Homo-oligomer: A and B are copies of this chain.
Amino acid sequence: MDHTEAANSNSNSTSPSSSSSPPPPLPPAVVLRPCAACKILRRRCAENCVLAPYFPPTERAKFKIAHRVFGASKIIKFLQELPESQRADAVSSMVYEASARIRDPVYGCAGAICHLQKQANELQAQLAKAQAELVNMQCQQAMPAS
């Protein structure tokens, strides 16, 4: 038996037999280069990995940020609960929120919301004042000078 025969023989011994029972389903193929998430989690990155489309191998920092705040199991759970068309947006917003929480561990995104709410209230007050002044001036112009 030469080397080729030996290789064939080994291959045959592990392949399913040619009986009438259907072959067992193949496990999802393992991709050659794992996504950033699987690489960091040190797990097998299957072809149907739910994280891979949003955390390609070049996006390690992005996954690390989301992972630090939400944890891998929550990220996977959130994504699985959404249709595929909405998952990219969900990942972006999770990474955004996680960055805010890392930057400001006390208030996170809620701090930015408070700040923007205050800014909007101040602008609304300034606008109301300017509009009142405008109405006042229009009235003065409309009245004949005494």
Q: Which residues of A contact B (CB under 8 A)?
A: 69-71, 73-74, 78, 81-82, 86, 89-90, 92-94, 96-97, 100-101, 105-113, 116-117, 119-120, 123-124, 126-127, 130-131, 133-134, 137-138, 140-141
Contact for A109 among B78, B109, B133, CB less than 8 A: B109
Out of B73, B93, B123, which one reaches A123, CB within 8 Å? B123
A141 adjacent to B137 (CB under 8 Å) = yes
Q: What are 27 contact pairs spanning A and B, CB under 8 A?
A: A69-B74, A70-B71, A71-B74, A78-B101, A86-B106, A89-B106, A89-B107, A90-B107, A93-B108, A93-B109, A93-B110, A97-B108, A97-B109, A97-B110, A100-B109, A113-B113, A116-B120, A120-B120, A123-B127, A130-B130, A130-B134, A134-B134, A134-B137, A137-B137, A137-B138, A137-B141, A140-B141
Majority secondary structure of chain A interface residues (helix, strand, loop or mixed): helix
How often does this chain occur in the complex, in copies? 2
- Minimum distance in angstroms from A22 CB to a CB of chain B: 37
